[in-house]
Amino acid sequence: MFACLHRLPSTTSSFENQESINALVHLAREHSPKVEVHGQALVVLDVSGLGQLWGNPREVGQRLRGVAAERNLGVRVAVAKTKMAALLATQGRCGLTVIPPGEEAEALSSLPLTVLKQLSQAQASGPNLTASARRASHTAQAVSPAAPSSVAVSVLMLLPVVQRWGIKTLGELVALPTAELFSRLGHGGLELQRIARGEDSRPFTAESGEERFEQTMTLEWPVEGLEPLSFVLARILEPLCVHLERRGVAVGRLRVQLTLVTRETHERTLEFPASVNDPKLLRTLILLDLESHPPSAGIDQVTVMADPVPSRTLQFSLLERAVPSAECLSTLLARLTVLMGDQRCGAAALVDTHHPGAFEMSPFAPKAQRPTHRTHVPGATDLRPILRRFRNPTPARVSVEHGHPVQVLIPQRRSGGQVVSWAGPWRSSGQWWMSPRTSWDRNEWDVELRDGSVYRIFRDRVSKRWFVEGMVD
């Protein structure tokens, strides 16, 4: 069982508001060692073992609400079998809500769809805890935009589409046929429906009690430029890496906070494909990132925070394909990102859609592959036809007779000729329920020209124009 505490907004001063945030974290820590902080006003705690002390789930919820009232904390409390059900219940109902196990979807059915957006906004607000509250929560960053059980941005983008269908409540969303919802919205629609039923997509991850790996240096004089900053980073990263090494861990993600003379904070986050614990390499990666994202003013204070991960154990093998080391790979990716820009360097990953040419960039993290032993058959070849898509479809002139193309001219490539064989058409369309920029409707053909070249062409049924999708090798 999980209990969710949602602190009600108040009109007090910012200092008193901050103290109430810290008091909410203290309250959760006093009642359970397993706590997830989801925002400035949201805390989820595991109350599975509290029934032996205080009784049934309703009595547990009443005690939590009573202790909060004694400390002048106005909270909403929800107790449910899943985290998501408890989180949604506190967004749409006041007082104490207890959801029996197995009745999550029925209990949430009357809530409006807007509670999903409210929950996402509440989880995206990160608290600024004081030192005492941080010790109570045992974490340096109590919440992040990617908190466990958070409502993803990609799922929220589907809410306007569902609302245009006339869906107003979570119950109406749950009642939609799953197969038809998947065919129109993909996995995002299924995730949206699971959230509406109060199901958890991720397991409960309690805030660990590990120590913080952080180093801060306040400068006597402001630093401007990357060259003097490199000396400051060297003095910070060396003791930090020593601290990590003594604990047997390494850096998986590094956060750099630069306090500027304008009292603003310039923050950057670096994620690595493998654990790193080399201060010189970390300094190089930070400088490369700041080269493309420089601070707007002089620097007064530098803070570096490391998220620890298990250190790597290197064991080389003669049977595995040689791959670049994690240090060289991280440096190469950082330099390429400086040249190409953010979100332009990584590995292309397929998207679960029928949209032609759709892909997304994912972090480049190759894994060691063991060689596969294949039996060679005389006369057999491994050659397969491959479609090389053009990044932008090329306009073409196509002559059609008896319902199929007979001649293709490609002015931009100065190629083309008579069609000697063809296959098609294949009708492709989708996302007609969304914006015109993302929808498509076309007929595709594979044609072989007299010179032996093979192209994939298509006719856009909306603009009535022909394009070349790519070339088959």
- 227-286 pLDDT, tens digit each: 888 899 999 999 988 888 887 788 888 899 999 998 888 988 888 777 788 888 888 888
Mean pLDDT for 333-339 is: 71
- Identify the band that residue 372 occupies on the pLDDT scale cut at 50, 70 and 90: very low
Q: Are 208 and 282 in contact (CB under 8 A)?
A: no
**Is 126 or 441 the better-scoring residue by pLDDT?**
441
CATH superfamily for 2-196 is Reverse transcriptase/Diguanylate cyclase domain (3.30.70.270)
Mean pLDDT for 2-14 is: 70
- Identify the band that residue 144 occupies on the pLDDT scale cut at 50, 70 and 90: very low
Rounded to 5 degrees, what angle do the CA atoms 113, 198, 27 make? 100
- Identify the band that residue 127 occupies on the pLDDT scale cut at 50, 70 and 90: very low
Tokens representing residue 369 in the block: 């592959």
Mean pLDDT for 406-413 is: 83
Q: Are 237 and 214 in contact (CB under 8 A)?
A: no
How many CB atoms are closer than 10 A to CB 33?
Answer: 14
Tens-place pLDDT, residues 158-211? 888 888 888 888 889 889 998 888 888 888 888 888 888 888 877 776 665 456
**What pLDDT does 17 receive?**
53
> Residue 370 above 70 pLDDT?
no
- Identify the band that residue 374 occupies on the pLDDT scale cut at 50, 70 and 90: very low
Question: How many residues are listed for the chain in this entry?
Answer: 473
The DSSP secondary-structure symbol of 296 reads S
> Residue 366 above 80 pLDDT?
no
What's the chain's average pLDDT?
78
> Residue 364 above 50 pLDDT?
yes
Q: Are 400 and 392 in contact (CB under 8 A)?
A: no
- Identify the band that residue 10 occupies on the pLDDT scale cut at 50, 70 and 90: low
Domain topology for 211-369 = Dna Ligase; domain 1 (3.30.1490)
Beta strands of 93-212 (E only): which ranges?
96-98
3-state secondary structure of 306: strand
- Identify the band that residue 20 occupies on the pLDDT scale cut at 50, 70 and 90: low
Rounded to 5 degrees, what angle do the CA atoms 5, 62, 45 make? 35
CA 390, 396, 400, 406 torsion: positive or negative? negative
- Identify the band that residue 383 occupies on the pLDDT scale cut at 50, 70 and 90: low
**What pLDDT does 120 receive?**
80
Mean pLDDT for 213-221 is: 88
Cα–Cα distance, 299 to 229 (Å, whole number): 9
Q: Which of 7-16, 86-95, 200-209, 427-436 has the lowest mean pLDDT?
A: 7-16
> Residue 22 above 50 pLDDT?
yes
Q: In what order do the strands lie in the sheet with 249-260?
A: 213-223, 299-310, 249-260, 265-276
Q: Where are the alpha helices (DSSP H) in 293-359?
A: 326-340
**What pLDDT does 154 receive?**
66
**Is 235 or 125 the better-scoring residue by pLDDT?**
235
Sketch the domain layout of the chain as residue ranges: 2-196, 211-369, 387-472
> Residue 302 above 80 pLDDT?
yes
Global pTM reads 0.45
> Residue 334 above 80 pLDDT?
no
- Identify the band that residue 149 occupies on the pLDDT scale cut at 50, 70 and 90: very low
